[in-house]
């Protein structure tokens, strides 16, 4: 009974260990509570410390960026989009050339098919004629001729017939070879066309991504901030223009006025300046919107001269002139990758389609880094 009483008394606190468990030593519960409290304090201190440490999970938000920083990022995105636009235009032109080439190949193949049909018809007619003449071969009939005269006449006719047959066979073989060549060429052209289409699609996706990112940045700005952004662009352009005018490239050179343009150049300038105020749209060639090379393409087209579609090809194919010698109508190619172009209109200025969200405008010829100048009217590039 004493043992039962001790057992009952041991359960009096309601915290006796389960059957088979070892009871904690005296004072253990108090120490456990102290440990829990200490652990909680350490955790709270850690959280407070994380909030105070830069880069931690609860870091304070970064300070707002200046308009100058936003301008730099926006301009960078538009520059990348412009580079991709020129890649798109180049791939687009290459695709058109390949499509035209495939059409030409198909036309030539169709003509060869008609020629082959005619040759087959002639061969069939020759075979039928020989069949109607009898089963004896022509040479055997010659050997059995009744007189030397008939033999000689027959020999001449047989020779002509054999020559005609050989010619027919040769023509048919050449036509078949041409057909095989057209089929091979068409297959190769289709491969190139497919590659150009993929380049075009890739460039288009890049353009759309860059433009969307730039527009998203600008859309978060208030109207007064957007206006200030435009002012920052204009201030930067003025600084670059002043620096260019003072540089060795044009120092001491009298920049030619619009009156110095040639006939063709004057027409090109007149067209370009008439487009001032129209919006930039990538890939556009008018009449209501243009991209940079679309404007120069149409301006020189209005002057009666065909030039390459893209700024890179304009730079690569058209005759180059020194910056100090440029005259109205010349094309100024900008940036190391030749991704932008404007038309010189005299007095140190040019007309260009700047970028999405902007309109065709007149600006300082040196407001952007100049790669070089080309002249569609120069010797080697057409009429002067």
Could you tell me which of 363, 359, 358 has the C-alpha nearest to residue 344? 363
- Dihedral pair phi/psi, residue 134, rounded to 5°: 125, 170
Let me know: does 258 contact 347? Beta carbons within 8 Å.
Answer: yes
CA 348, CA 326: separation in Å to the nearest integer? 10
Q: Active site includes 340?
A: yes
CA angle 345, 351, 356 (to 5 degrees): 175
Q: Active site includes 159?
A: no
Let me know: does 358 contact 306? Beta carbons within 8 Å.
Answer: no
Element (H, E) at 341: strand 340-346
Element (H, E) at 208: helix 148-219
Let me know: does 382 contact 304? Beta carbons within 8 Å.
Answer: no
Could you tell me which of 294, 287, 274 has the C-alpha nearest to residue 353? 294
Let me know: does 239 contact 318? Beta carbons within 8 Å.
Answer: no
Neighbour tally for 207: CB within 10 Å: 21
Query: Strands 279-280, 331-334: parallel, antiparallel or unpaired by DSSP?
Result: unpaired
Q: Which of 43, 71, 159, 340 is catalytic?
A: 340
Q: Active site includes 71?
A: no
What tokens were used for 200? 């075009």
Cite the active site residues: 292, 340, 352
């Amino acid at each position: 009974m004493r043992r039962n009483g001790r057992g009952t008394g041991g359960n009096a606190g309601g915290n006796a260990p389960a059957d088979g468990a070892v009871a904690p030593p005296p004072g253990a519960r108090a120490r456990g509570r102290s440990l829990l409290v200490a652990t909680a304090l350490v955790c709270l201190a850690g959280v407070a410390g994380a909030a105070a440490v830069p880069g931690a999970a609860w870091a304070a938000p970064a300070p707002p960026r200046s308009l100058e920083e936003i301008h730099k990022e926006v301009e960078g995105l538009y520059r990348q989009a412009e580079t991709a636009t020129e890649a798109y235009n180049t791939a687009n032109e290459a695709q058109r050339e390949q499509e035209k080439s495939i059409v030409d190949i198909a036309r030539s193949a169709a003509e060869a098919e008609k020629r082959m049909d005619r040759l087959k018809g002639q061969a069939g007619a020759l075979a039928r004629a020989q069949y109607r003449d009898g089963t004896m071969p022509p040479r055997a009939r010659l050997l059995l001729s009744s007189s030397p005269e008939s033999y000689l006449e027959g020999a001449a006719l047989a020779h002509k017939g054999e020559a005609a047959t050989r010619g027919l066979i040769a023509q048919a073989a050449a036509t078949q070879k041409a057909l095989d060549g057209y089929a091979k060429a068409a297959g190769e052209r289709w491969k190139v066309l497919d590659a150009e289409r993929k380049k075009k699609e890739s460039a288009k996706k890049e353009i759309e991504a860059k433009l969307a990112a730039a527009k998203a940045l600008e859309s978060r700005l208030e109207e007064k901030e957007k206006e200030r952004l435009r002012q920052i662009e204009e201030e930067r352009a003025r600084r670059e223009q002043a620096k260019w005018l003072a540089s060795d490239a044009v120092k001491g050179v009298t920049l030619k006025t619009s009156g110095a343009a040639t006939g063709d150049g004057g027409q090109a300038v007149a067209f370009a300046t008439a487009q001032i105020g129209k919006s930039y749209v990538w890939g556009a060639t008018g009449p209501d919107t243009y991209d940079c090379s679309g404007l120069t393409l149409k301006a020189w087209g209005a002057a009666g001269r065909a030039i390459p579609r893209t700024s890179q090809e304009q730079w690569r194919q058209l005759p180059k002139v020194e910056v100090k010698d440029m005259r109205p109508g010349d094309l100024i190619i900008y940036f190391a990758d030749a991704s932008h172009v404007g038309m010189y209109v005299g007095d140190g200025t040019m007309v260009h389609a700047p970028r999405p969200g902007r309109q065709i405008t007149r600006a300082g010829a040196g407001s952007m880094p100049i790669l070089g100048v080309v002249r569609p009217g120069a010797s080697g590039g057409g009429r002067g």
